[in-house]
Amino acid sequence: MANPSILILPGDGIGPEVMAEVTKIISWFGDKRGLVFDVSEDLVGGAAYDVHGVPLADETMAKAQAADAVLLGAVGGPKYDVLDFSVKPERGLLRLRKEMDLFANLRPAQCFDALADFSSLKKDVVAGLDIMIVRELTSGVYFGEPRGIFNEGNERVGINTQRYTESEIVRVARAAFELAKRRNNKVCSMEKANVMESGILWREVVQKVHDEEYPEVELSHMYADNGAMQLVRWPKQFDVIVTDNLFGDILSDCAAMLTGSLGMLPSASLGAPMANGRPKAMYEPVHGSAPDIAGQGKANPIACILSFAMALRYSFDQGDEATRLEQAIEKVLADGVRTADLMGPDGGTPVSTSEMGDKIIAALDASL
């Protein structure tokens, strides 16, 4: 039986630095836990443009389609700002999402106890926070037609269309319910059914999927604006939140800051199951390419490492090993080990990007 395959796309800026630490940890799982992956590496973003003249070569796209999981670092940087829109580094990322049909974007917001003071909210509000936002990623107002800027009489008008089909809502709702079954069995669906017809359809379809397929999961509905307020009032009331593309974009960024550091946040984008039963999937840290600190060993690799933990859990059915990795990270943070972005008023032990990776591997060794 062939080993599961991972395509690594480090990208630009700090992408190669943080991905190097993930590669070390992948090797650790092969050496110490017998989880052997067939790992290949290729170019995306500005790095791909420098070599191929496009942000994602067709050959790389084919590799991504064939891989069991894709791990992406980050794309972009000021060097590429002058490029035509069609070949900007970000277009490579968008092509991957579109052609792999990655319709469910998973954005966890988890606050490690050692970092609870980093949040702008009170410690008791965020300590122990562990929620998951499931954002529909391939439809909605960002893709609906008609769209554009048009002349209307004596002035211009900008038009974007919020559009969802039942099937698009069904598949992201199922993804949310399946996730909830692995967690605390609770889903909150957010929309604006009070003022938007697409919100009415969203609520009706999510409710129908629940009633017919997942009656054992607790389901609630909430208007998205109230959801934003509740996220900063008492976020621990939620487990899984499912919402559309626009509201998911806003709510997940709001939730991201509950945890206090962008360098701690992973994400997963999942699609339909492949022939082997695994979903097409791409995993990436939420942070950008941070070109201002690239090559200096200052980047925090934890978000990228946590993205690999998500791959272990959702692509490779290795939930226990994902938990092992997450607990190793928690142990390192509890010991006061800090990359530059995590250095607070209470100090800590400053480490470089590679040293943080080494500390996490040492904690993994200690877990055996």
Same domain, 160 and 220: yes
Per-residue pLDDT at 112: 87
User: From the candidates 24, 79, 142, 358, which is the catalytic residue?
Assistant: 142
Catalytic status, residue 365: no
Per-residue pLDDT at 197: 98
Catalytic status, residue 298: no
Per-residue pLDDT at 275: 77
User: From the candidates 49, 88, 192, 239, which is the catalytic residue?
Assistant: 192
Query: Pick from 79, 198, 74: which is nearest to 136 by CA?
Result: 198
Per-residue pLDDT at 92: 96
**CATH assignment of the domain containing 353:** 3.40.718.10
DSSP per residue over 315-343, as a string?
A: TS--HHHHHHHHHHHHHHHHTTEE-GGG-
- Split the chain (368 residues) into runs of 10 and give each run's mean pLDDT: 94 98 98 97 98 98 96 96 93 92 94 85 90 95 93 96 98 96 96 98 98 98 98 96 96 85 88 84 94 95 97 95 97 94 80 98 97
In a domain, 197, yes or no: yes
Same domain, 218 and 308: no
- Hey, how many other C-beta atoms are within 10 angstroms of the C-beta on 261? 21
End residue of a domain, out of 197, 227, 257: 257
In a domain, 122, yes or no: no
End residue of a domain, out of 227, 257, 287: 257
**Is the whole model's pTM more than 0.75, yes or no?**
yes
User: From the candidates 101, 113, 225, 358, which is the catalytic residue?
Assistant: 225
In a domain, 35, yes or no: yes
Same domain, 291 and 317: yes
Per-residue pLDDT at 214: 98
In a domain, 90, yes or no: yes
Which tens digits make up the pLDDT trace of 60-103? 999 999 999 999 999 999 999 999 989 999 999 989 998 999 99
User: What is the DSSP code (8-state) at residue 47?
Assistant: H
Catalytic status, residue 164: no
Same domain, 310 and 337: yes
Per-residue pLDDT at 336: 93
All residues at 6 or more sequence positions from 67 whose CB lies less than 8 Å from its CB, including other chains: 5, 6, 7, 40
Judged on CB neighbours under 10 Å (0-12, 13-18, 19+), 101 is: middle
Same domain, 171 and 105: no
Per-residue pLDDT at 32: 97
In a domain, 120, yes or no: no
Dihedral over alpha carbons 232, 235, 237, 241 (to 10 degrees): 100
Per-residue pLDDT at 102: 96
Same domain, 252 and 179: yes
In a domain, 63, yes or no: yes
Count how many domains the chain has.
Answer: 2
Same domain, 234 and 271: no
Catalytic status, residue 253: yes
Same domain, 160 and 214: yes
Query: Any idea what the Cα angle at residue 51 is, between residues 45 and 52, rounded to 5°?
Result: 80
Query: Pick from 329, 196, 342, 330: which is nearest to 261 by CA?
Result: 342
| Structural domain boundaries enclosing 315 | 1-112+265-368
User: What residues are paired with 269 via a beta bridge?
Assistant: 105, 282
Same domain, 139 and 189: yes
| Backbone φ, ψ for residue 294 (5° rounding) | -60, 140
End residue of a domain, out of 202, 222, 257: 257
User: From the candidates 164, 249, 280, 314, which is the catalytic residue?
Assistant: 249
User: From the candidates 101, 113, 130, 253, which is the catalytic residue?
Assistant: 253
Same domain, 248 and 307: no
Per-residue pLDDT at 161: 97
In a domain, 125, yes or no: no
In a domain, 356, yes or no: yes
Catalytic status, residue 214: no
Same domain, 247 and 319: no
CA-to-CA distance for 109 and 253, rounded, in angstroms? 10
DSSP per residue over 99-127, as a string?
A: HTT--EEEEEEE--GGGGGGSSS-HHHHT
H or E segment to which residue 284 belongs: strand 279-285
Same domain, 146 and 251: yes
Query: Any idea what the Cα angle at residue 107 is, between residues 80 and 130, rounded to 5°?
Result: 140
